[in-house]
Amino acid sequence: MNIKPYRHEVKYYECDRMGITHHSNYIRFMEEARVDWMDQMGYGFDRMEAEGVVSPVVAVDCRYRHTSTFKDILEIEVRVAETTPLKISFSYTMTCGGKTICTATSTHCFLENGRPVSLEKRFPELYQRIQEL
């Protein structure tokens, strides 16, 4: 399966007084890219949540390399860094004009009715697709 990178155009309100994208927004961009990645996999978060499964963030790490500014187009590549039946970790590489803006990871668990649920058992087709990546 060929997953396309997510593209985000930096908005004016996402920048600080110096005209640089505020660091907190990169976490939001990761979420946008992750939602897009899941949609491309055919298992959007809306589908999972409609079936009673949520996927909260349990850890996040972001390393800033270069700045981005208003109107920059960030290309965000999402990859699965690690997966178990109960958790998944994504890695993100955000680039703009050939420069790496930041690299990041996020880890998520899966819950149903507030209790851990095995992705492998609950969504076996999705789990298999992830393993194949």
Domain boundaries, the chain: 6-132
Nearest CA to 112 out of 57, 58, 51, 59 is that of 51
For 6-132, CATH gives 3.10.129.10
For 18-48, letters b (16+ CB in 10 Å) and e give eeebeeebbeebbeebbebbbeeeebeeeeb
Instruction: List the pLDDT tens digit at each of the 133 positions of the chain.
Output: 789 999 999 999 999 999 999 999 999 999 999 999 999 998 888 998 999 999 999 999 999 999 999 999 999 999 999 999 999 999 999 999 999 999 999 999 999 999 999 989 988 888 888 888 7
The tokens for 108 are 């998520």
